[in-house]
Chains A and B, each alone.
Chain A
Amino acid sequence: KAGVTQTPRYLIKTRGQQVTLSCSPISGHRSVSWYQQTPGQGLQFLFEYFSETQRNKGNFPGRFSGRQFSNSRSEMNVSTLELGDSALYLCASSLSWGGLNEQFFGPGTRLTVL
């Protein structure tokens, strides 16, 4: 069974630009969650999608948005990039939403904002 895939793996952007990251969950998984990992803040929850609907949202500004497609693939978008957005972005998939199922993580996208 193929694991969670994320594209691209590495990305370099400049301040003010926007970026879109993609996550393909394990086949049959309908929930996708996104996380940001920075050295200073650790791993932080961004949002969770299930059946194309955002079910939960973390404490991030509106510049961070996401969506989920009918095939459960998810994208997250960050607009007006800031230096502090440099981070590893991880997505994780699970069978259902709500935190009662194991989450399987992708390899992450390393975003560098210059």
Chain B
Amino acid sequence: ILNVEQSPQSLHVQEGDSTNFTCSFPSSNFYALHWYRWETAKSPEALFVMTLNGDEKKKGRISATLNTKEGYSYLYIKGSQPEDSATYLCASMNTNAGKSTFGDGTTLTVKP
């Protein structure tokens, strides 16, 4: 059974703090990892699609790294802003390309 775990479950930070979350996934037959941001009352928004070991991707103040050999990915947010408050989800695809397994997400709250 494929298990994708995210930690921490929730995080409260002050505006301006930098933060990071972890996504752990099975390393065997890895195919791709997706990161999403899901704000309340909105649809999930794609952040990154990562496939190669050692991949590093960046979008504004958000960046992500990927280690497929040990099965983890980190998401970093530099200088958190209140608008970064959301649940951040990762989804792993192993063996069956296109069949995603999602983690439960990390809920970030950024206080002004």
Contact = CB atoms under 8 A, between A and B. Distances in A.
A and B form one complex: yes
Interface of A: 4, 31, 33, 42-45, 48, 55-58, 90, 92, 97-108
A105 B97 contact: no
Contacts of A42: 102-105
A112 B39 CA distance: 22
Which interface residue of B31, B45, B97, B98 has the most chain A CB atoms within 10 A? B98
Nearest to A42: B104
A107 B38 CA distance: 11
Contacts of B51: 100
Nearest to B51: A100
Given A33-B98, A48-B98, A58-B99, A100 B46 contact: no
A2 to B, nearest CB: 14
Nearest 3 A-B pairs (CB), nearest first?
A105-B43, A102-B46, A98-B97
A102 B43 contact: no
A99 B102 contact: no
B26 interface: no
Interface in B80-95: 89, 91, 93
28 contacts: A33-B100, A42-B102, A42-B105, A43-B89, A43-B102, A44-B102, A45-B99, A48-B98, A48-B99, A56-B96, A56-B97, A56-B99, A58-B99, A90-B43, A90-B44, A98-B98, A99-B32, A99-B49, A99-B97, A99-B99, A99-B100, A100-B49, A100-B97, A102-B34, A102-B46, A105-B44, A105-B45, A107-B43
Nearest to A101: B49
Interface in B52-110: 89, 91, 93, 96-105
A45 B32 contact: no
Contacts of A56: 96-99
